[in-house]
Amino acid sequence: MTNPILIAGGGPAGLAASHALSCLGFKSILVEKEDRLGGAPILSGYAKLVPSGEWARDAIGGMVERAMNDPLIDVRLNTTVTSFSGESGRFSAGLSDGSGADTGAAILCTGFTHFDPVNKPEWGFGTFEDVVTTTQVEQMISSGQGVRCPSDQRKPKRVAILLCVGSRDRQIGREWCSKICCTVSANIAMEIREELPDCHVYIYYMDIRTFGLYETKYYWKSQEEFKIKYIKARIAEVTSDGERLIVKGEDTLVKRPITIPFDMVVHAIGMDPNTDNRSISSVFGVTLEPNGYVDQLSVYGTVGATSRPGVFVAGSAKGPETIDDSIAQGHAAAVAALAAANPAAETA
């Protein structure tokens, strides 16, 4: 019988990987550093997910419940992996709770960290209360509180969403596109208009990257049905006149400077590499790619292979990723890990 597979991280990718293994009749150890499973969608209180429109607490919550009740999945909460030695098929892992485990292979599903927009001080986050992040708006919606200006709980009449906050910006060393923020922002914009029909929502963009089928479902729908206005401009700064926020920039299509008042400014924050990636890299002996995500050795050969044989990666640990693709990659990595943990299967 194969040793269990170690899965680090209990978000969508980790939950999917452990479930896939369990479906095939194999055991896994699911190690989660927080006090509950679910990853970013649960821990950050996301509202309705793209593209299903299901609430995160139902969709991801269902995956969590399934894992918690699965006898083949050994869930270890408040735990991290502290050591990892051996080689593919015969690893030995040390956990922060003092226990150890023999494991055939490992899957890193360690996810990402939300970009902290105080690192872009010119856009006012941390200076003005009514400058918030997409995550905060998600929480306003998912908590049932509704979209309100944090300063005085008033309903905003005009909201600006700034895209690419913490993405595609060499000034702060983040050259990647975080992939999901355009779609998420269009989704949030529609949710704001749904709750507050009198509120005008403007999205300031450099490019709109609602890729694939999200084009019609989010970009087009937000314009055609919800009358969201998209303005091609990268905002220079967010200030205040004492009453409202003032957004300054250049409207590139009319080649004119703009200083427009807003009640609320939302930063569409990007996905940073997990802040723990350096220690993850050293514990598991895997290399990171230049941006700081876990390096993927092969794209076409073995799905999710890292620089260390027997250690695999899935989801946003290896770069910005959507929830549904993270889940697919979790499944794929589970199969790859199984093959590595059980070399007999390969030779048979």
Partner 1 sequence: MPIHEQSLIRPENLTTHEEKIIDGIDVSGHWSTFIESRVVTDYNEQMEDEIAALPGGEFIHRCWQCGSCTNSCTVNAVNPEFNPRFWIYLIRMGIESELIRDKDIIWQCVSCNKCTYACPRDVYPEGVMKATSHWLELKGHTPQSPSAIFDEVCTDQIVDTGKIEDGRTLRRFMQKTGQSLLQDWIVAMIKQLVSHLPVSLLAKMGLSTLIAPRTSGWSGARRALKRYIEEQQTEQQMAVNPVVAGEEKH
Exposure string over 199-209, b if 16+ CB within 10 A, otherwise e: bbbbbbbeebb
Q: By C-beta, is 35 or 198 nearer to partner 1?
A: 198
Calpha distance 218→182 (Å, rounded): 9
- Contact positions with partner 1 (CB under 8 A) in 104-163: 158
165-204 footprint of partner 1 as x/- string (CB under 8 A):
-----------------------------------x-x--
Choose, by CB under 8 A, the member of 99, 254, 298, 343 that binds partner 1: 254
Choose, by CB under 8 A, the member of 35, 87, 152, 253 that binds partner 1: 253
Q: By C-beta, is 225 or 289 nearer to partner 1?
A: 225
Region of 127-135, 222-230, 263-271, 311-319 interacting with partner 1 (CB under 8 A): 222-230
Using rule CB under 8 A, residue 216 touches partner 1: no
Smallest separation, CB 247 to partner 1 (Å):
11
Using rule CB under 8 A, residue 230 touches partner 1: yes
Using rule CB under 8 A, residue 207 touches partner 1: no
Q: By C-beta, is 102 or 225 nearer to partner 1?
A: 225
Choose, by CB under 8 A, the member of 54, 143, 227, 289 that binds partner 1: 227
Q: By C-beta, is 66 or 200 nearer to partner 1?
A: 200
Q: By C-beta, is 83 or 220 nearer to partner 1?
A: 220
Residues that bind partner 1 (CB under 8 A): 158, 200, 202, 220, 223-224, 227, 229-232, 251, 253-261
